[in-house]
Structure 1
Amino acid sequence: MTSEWEAARRAAWEAGRRTIRGAETRPLEAAAGRTLAAALVAPVDVPGCDTSAMDGWAVAGAPPWRVGDAIPVGSAPDPRPLVSGTARPIATGAPVPPGAGILRREHGEERDGRLTPRTGTAAPAAGKDVRPAGSDVAAGEVVLPAGSRLTPPALALAAICGMDELEVRVPPRVLLLVVGEEIEVSGVPSPGRVRDAYGPQLPGVLAALGAGEVDVRHLGGDADQLLAELGVSDADLVVTTGGTSQGPTDHVRAAAASRGWSAVVDGVAMRPGHPVLLAIGPSGRPLLALPGNPFAAMVALLSLGVPLLDGMLGRRTPSPVPAPAAVELENPGRGVRVLACRRSADGVVPLPQQGPATLRGLAEADVLALVPIGGTRAGAPVPVLSLPW
């Protein structure tokens, strides 16, 4: 069967959810890029007490104010209200006495121990320029739901909540099988052969999508070797490149079927990337078989591999977002046409190199445009996928 693009992505996500990963506890400094397995619930208020949002003076009552001792940053909050008619110098982040407001440094004049507002500046009301306790995060609040990707700001948020460790999903180990008799792994390829584009590229892409260790193996075109690898691998996810079409050396489908792998998605109505295969093995492990052409392989990986790994890691998968087409985008075919594009002031513009075998356009692209059947006129919205790098 040939799946519509959206249906194929849903099927890939659901297949991933059936093999959702276990959890482990990691320190914050080792959790970047990982996925939360359990919601992060704030154990404390942030800030933990009322703090000043400005440099200046904490004041109470009407001016002029008698200036007292400064309130140091990092000092324990004083539960006693500030006496009316008094002021205390304060820096941003220092605890504010109950009932005080903040007169900004540029709005006040201090002379002979007395503080007055500058001309045209009113005395601040209680609570003015004060960050209340819990105004950023309230104790008991879910600040990051399970399935959140731990970006650098997310880690900083966990840190200010007082967390030292987080429970995260174990990243899946990937076996990458590069299939093709014509592939050379180093140097300039001889005539009639091609350089391996997958070994240098896909481990980094898979890591950006949430995968863990990637074991890269080159098989040539030997069907028996492919059978053996599928039979003995203990990887959590197997990814193959090449051998998914209908040619005499395209053995992936037959090899997978003979080992008991059943197809979840067998072809997607998109160009390039049509002959992609997603199958589940007897142990429940997924196999994602990508086409052999480099651009087609990346289209297939970003179309199905993203939701598959999101499902395995307990994450939502992102939907395409609309962007205006800067020019008319044609699609006379019977499925989604995927174009490597760059963003411009007028919208997305397709790059000149778009063939399934070329990487030039992809290397220069910002997004992939998903052109529906019948095409998209200039100025109209077209769905786009962001690139993980």
Structure 2
Amino acid sequence: MSLPTPAEARSRMLQALAPLGAEEVPLEAADGRVLAEPVTAIRDQPPYDASAMDGWAVRTVDAVSGAALSIVGESAAGHDAGAHIGPGEAVRIFTGAALPPGADRVVIQEQARRTGMTVVLDDLADAPAYVRPRGGDFRAQDGLLEAGLRLNPWRIALAASAGRATVTCTSRPRVGLLSTGDELVAPGDAAGDRHIYDTCTPALAAFIARCGGLPVALPRARDTDAAILEAVASRPFDLLVTIGGASVGDHDRVKPALKSAGAQLVVEGIAVRPGKPTWFGHLGDGRPVLGLPGNPASALVCAELFLAPVLAGLQGIAWAEPLEAAILDTDLPANGPREHYMRALVSEGRVRVLNDQDSSLVTVMAAANALVRRLPHAPPLAAGAKVHVTRPIWAT
């Protein structure tokens, strides 16, 4: 049976997901969260015609070069707009203040001279009105932010300008990280001659946080079914991500252990390089599980290709692969039968594929800031050819 392409595998994964619940989140804690409900304006913004500059509120008919106008009041931001302006009158006004009744423009203070209770206007040729009209930013009942948007400081400012103290966001997915392998020790612990440091768990925890999830470290499990099931049962989570043990060797016990407890798989390998053993399904209780390879580059490339969209799906976000065009700086050989994502460096529209693509090399992964996508059986390419690249989350 042929393996699904990355796009086919993602489609199966996303079809098997449902967004998590929603909760009210204070604006100051909402950066990076995803809206579950839209934000709608409850009033006009600004709620009145406002001055864009410090100066003098006047009637356009009186805004004539050399005119001498009587000063009849003052309007400051947050206070009453002051007296009604009649013919030949002006009100001192400050940035953000409401225009007094009768006024329809502002003469900036640099274009006027005050003498006692009179202001004389200078040359006003081609001068703008310097008025921010009521509703100039948005009107009451306007839709400001759609459900499914990830909030950032600019969008939080828009919600605040609509008077919202809180927003309704999807719950952040709790992602249980299960790292397996008798050879692994935690960074900082004593390592024997046959041990290696667990590279993937801290890297994927950071990746999950960047995607809006909450990483939950499960106890590192030895390569036995009992140890794996005990670790999975140790803490609550919304999504399980396993690292390693994804292949078919005698010591790759993750899938057999979870299947023995009722797990059902919808993806059992993907036609992708690196990361062919990647798999996806549901535990016996229905919670989703994504199995990533143990090699660091494979794990992080497949996190970009599959974990990021799964986390997006749990948060109700529409996901699309972020591809852009770039020009090759180096020749590339023909590709094999699997879609290949090659670690690379991209700058100013040009991309250089790094020499060694071995999936165990952390140095190459750390040096890269892009992935070059090559389709199955793609022909050789010479320097100067156009390719598609993605700038992965883990490289930003």
Does the TM-score normalized on the shorter chain lie above 0.5? yes
8 A contact 1:10–1:307 mirrored in 2? no
String of CA shifts for 1:197-231, please: whole Å, max 9, x gaps.
Answer: 12322222111112125133211222321133446
**Distance in 2, Cα, partners of 1:115 & 1:354:** 75
What secondary structure is seen at the aligned counterpart in 1 of 2:92?
Answer: strand
- 1:28 Cα offset (Å): 1.4
8 A contact 1:366–1:387 mirrored in 2? no
* Residue 39 of structure 1: aligned partner: 38
* Residue 7 of structure 2: aligned partner: 6
8 A contact 2:74–2:81 mirrored in 1? no
- 1:48 Cα offset (Å): 1.5
When residues 341 and 131 of structure 1 are mapped into structure 2, their CA distance, relative to the original with a 3 A threshold, is: farther
1:275 to 271, 274, 277: 277
8 A contact 1:117–1:123 mirrored in 2? no
When residues 82 and 386 of structure 1 are mapped into structure 2, their CA distance, relative to the original with a 3 A threshold, is: farther
* Residue 131 of structure 2: aligned partner: 130
Letter matched to residue 9 of structure 1: R
8 A contact 1:342–1:351 mirrored in 2? yes
Aligned length: 382
* Residues 1:86 and 2:85 aligned together: no
Of stretches 59-68 and 177-186 in structure 1, the one that deviates more from structure 2 is 59-68
1:219 to 209, 218, 221: 221
1:238 to 226, 237, 240: 240
- 1:328 Cα offset (Å): 4.4
Listed as ranges, the gaps of 5+ residues in structure 1 are: none
* Residues 1:71 and 2:101 aligned together: no
String of CA shifts for 1:163-214, please: whole Å, max 9, x gaps.
Answer: 1111111112221111111111124643332111123222221111121251
2:208 to 203, 206, 209: 206
**Distance in 1, Cα, partners of 2:368 & 2:87:** 63
- 1:154 Cα offset (Å): 1.5
* Residues 1:384 and 2:390 aligned together: yes
* Residues 1:370 and 2:373 aligned together: yes
- Structural RMSD (CA): 2.4
* Residues 1:357 and 2:379 aligned together: no
- 1:277 Cα offset (Å): 0.7
Q: Percent identity?
A: 30
Q: TM-score scaled to structure 1, two decimals? A: 0.89
Q: Pick 1 or 2: higher relative contact order, CA cutoff 8 A, min separation 6.
A: 1
* Residues 109-128 of structure 1: pairs in structure 2 closer than 5 A: 109-111=113-115, 113-118=118-123, 121-122=124-125, 124=127, 128=129
* Residue 144 of structure 2: aligned partner: 143
Of stretches 295-304 and 351-360 in structure 1, the one that deviates more from structure 2 is 351-360
What secondary structure is seen at the aligned counterpart in 2 of 1:363?
Answer: helix
* Residues 249-264 of structure 1: pairs in structure 2 closer than 5 A: 249-264=251-266
- 1:353 Cα offset (Å): 4.9
- 1:124 Cα offset (Å): 4.7
* Residue 24 of structure 1: aligned partner: 23
**Distance in 2, Cα, partners of 1:329 & 1:5:** 25
Letter matched to residue 33 of structure 1: G
8 A contact 2:43–2:141 mirrored in 1? yes
8 A contact 2:295–2:360 mirrored in 1? yes
8 A contact 2:81–2:99 mirrored in 1? yes
**Distance in 1, Cα, partners of 2:366 & 2:86:** 66
Letter matched to residue 164 of structure 1: A
- 1:140 Cα offset (Å): 0.9
- 1:316 Cα offset (Å): 1.2
**Distance in 1, Cα, partners of 2:229 & 2:209:** 26
2:108 to 99, 104, 111: 104
8 A contact 1:15–1:311 mirrored in 2? no
**Distance in 2, Cα, partners of 1:178 & 1:198:** 8
- 1:67 Cα offset (Å): 5.2
**Distance in 2, Cα, partners of 1:30 & 1:82:** 45
* Residue 179 of structure 1: aligned partner: 180
- 1:268 Cα offset (Å): 1.8
8 A contact 1:231–1:259 mirrored in 2? no
When residues 58 and 308 of structure 1 are mapped into structure 2, their CA distance, relative to the original with a 3 A threshold, is: same
**Distance in 2, Cα, partners of 1:129 & 1:353:** 60
Q: TM-score scaled to structure 2, two decimals? A: 0.88
1:311 to 310, 313, 325: 313
- 1:103 Cα offset (Å): 2.5
Letter matched to residue 131 of structure 2: V
* Residues 294-309 of structure 1: pairs in structure 2 closer than 5 A: 294-309=296-311
